[in-house]
Amino acid sequence: MSAPKSSPQRYIVTYTDQDINAGSAAQVLNLSEDKIQDGVSLLESDQPLTANDVLHFDGLGSSSVVLTASEVESLKHDQRVVAVEPDLEVHILGADAALMNGHATDSNGSTDYYDSEDALLEQPKQGSSTQTPGFEAGYKQALNDMQARMLEQMNNFFQNTGTSSNSPILKPFQPVKPVLPPIQLPPVLLQPVPWNIKMVKAPQAWPRTKGAGIKVAVLDTGIANHSDLTISGGASFVPGVVSYNDGHGHGTHCAGVIGARNNALGVVGVAPSCRIYAVKVLNDAGSGQLSWILAGMAWARNNGMQVVSMSLGSNSGPIVAYTTAVQQLLAAGCVVVAAAGNTGGPVGAPANSPGVIAVAAVDQNKVVAPFSSRGGNGNQVTISAPGVSVNSTYLNNGFKAMSGTSMACPHVAGGAALLRARYPTWNPLAITNRLRSTAADLGVPGNDPTYGAGLLDCDAATM
């Protein structure tokens, strides 16, 4: 008896030629060229994705297509093909995963984001006068002078009209102390700086650079409108969804860590003057497909993004399609930063792709979080950043504390933005090396699989 046939499913085909066009891809797939569609344009539209749709990602050297098992085997033996990989499901790497690994997070959505040293300047006490001594003394002197002149005129009147000498001469009266309303000076507002932003020493770097003008793409669940964020643009690659608005909260949280504005409101990001772009590659449930992520990476490359932040992934070994896409982004001058993962085990994809800055999570004591992934095959942990109870922007114009390597990743993306602005001629490799060489060593001396080079230090990096 023959084995039952497996149902067709969607795969990512990565070609030997990374610059392959749609026509050549059609030849490899044994399809007519009119069957191939631009993957970025299709997923960015409101058109739903069907099994008949074949997507090609120009510039990334890959296509997304539904194949049978026999077609997969045939393509694997084609010398024009590097790999044929399932279109895997991808998830956020935030608080939910951290909870599953035994780490509780703050889910009450608290907006108590003022540190004791970040409190407002003391305002004048109720009812106290804020007039200067010179003003009050001058006011009293004017009253006394006026009263003296009135008394002198009245006494002269009595004398000139023959009034009896027994008539009383008017005496000066005690001036009434004026009751003036206090002048209330407006309080001087200070931007609250969260503990995690202080830990990576971003404020010390701001006199040199705040990341002005650097384009940072946040590949996530989108970004919601927020008074503490400025969104410069973006796109959605969730099939049938054209808005990059965030209905989950994860992407909005990550965006705030990168670039919440320095505006005396809520929180502030590592690079508060950078330009943030919302690239929605995960749905409002926090999941998506590998092909959606590739579309977002292609969009970032095509639109000149200088830093890409990906707080997402899957618990898998290195994926060729990611590796090729990352190499194309790096070649275009874009720094790629990704969360290491929340399994406590090996670093997952895409963080395990060569050239990616893979970020581990530490707590307020600079100790690695138990959920933070480490070691494994492929790319290792590059650097560490705060990822436990990190407060940032959230849905409905609010703020929320969340945990995960998802929260650590955007700190480093912000650090990369500071460096791009500080040293605009540096390529991604130079920026990565600078972040590593200036990190504060944690764990065993030197680079290690848990902390990488150590804790992100924006001050030292931007010297």
**Residue 322 clears pLDDT 70, i.e. is over it:** yes
For the residues of 26-94, what is the DSSP string, one character each? HHHHT--GGGEEEHHHHHHSSPPP-TT-EEEETTTTEEEEEE-HHHHHHHHT-TTEEEEEE--EEEE-S
User: β-strands 54-57, 62-67: how paired?
Assistant: antiparallel
Question: Domains in the chain, please, with CATH?
Answer: 9-87 (3.30.70.80), 90-106+191-461 (3.40.50.200)
How much is the pLDDT for 366? 98
Q: What is the rounded CA–CA span in Å between residue 167 and residue 172?
A: 16
Confidence class for position 54, pLDDT limits 50, 70, 90: very high
Instruction: Name 386's Cβ contacts closer than 8 Å, sequence gap at least 6.
Output: 195, 196, 199, 200, 361, 362, 363, 364, 407, 408, 411
Tell me if residue 128 is catalytic: no
Picking from 218, 296, 274, 282, the residue whose alpha carbon sits closest to that of residue 421 is 274
Phi, psi (degrees; rounded to nearest 5) at 280: -85, 105
Q: What is the rounded CA–CA span in Å between residue 164 and residue 2?
A: 141
Catalytic pick among 220, 228, 363, 457? 220
Catalytic pick among 406, 411, 448, 457? 406
Tell me if residue 353 is catalytic: no
Question: Stretch 17-43: mean pLDDT, rounded?
Answer: 96
Q: How large is the C-alpha radius of gyration of the chain?
A: 32
How much is the pLDDT for 273? 98
How much is the pLDDT for 153? 52
**Residue 149 clears pLDDT 60, i.e. is over it:** no
Tell me if residue 91 is catalytic: no
Instruction: Name 323's Cβ contacts closer than 8 Å, sequence gap at least 6.
Output: 353, 354
Indicate the helix (H) or strand (E) that contains 196: helix 195-199
Q: Which of 12-21, 155-164, 187-196 has the highest mean pLDDT?
A: 12-21
Buried b (16+ CB within 10 A) or exposed e, 116-148: eeeeeeeeeeeeeeeeeeeeeeeeeeeeeeeee
Confidence class for position 152, pLDDT limits 50, 70, 90: low
Question: Stretch 243-256: mean pLDDT, rounded?
Answer: 98
Catalytic pick among 103, 248, 250, 411? 250
Residue 24, SS3 per DSSP: helix
Taking the complete model, does pTM exceed 0.85, yes or no? Answer: no
How much is the pLDDT for 6? 66
Q: How many CA atoms lie within 13 A of 428 on its CB side?
A: 22
Write out pLDDT tens, residues 273-304.
999 999 999 999 999 999 999 999 999 999 99
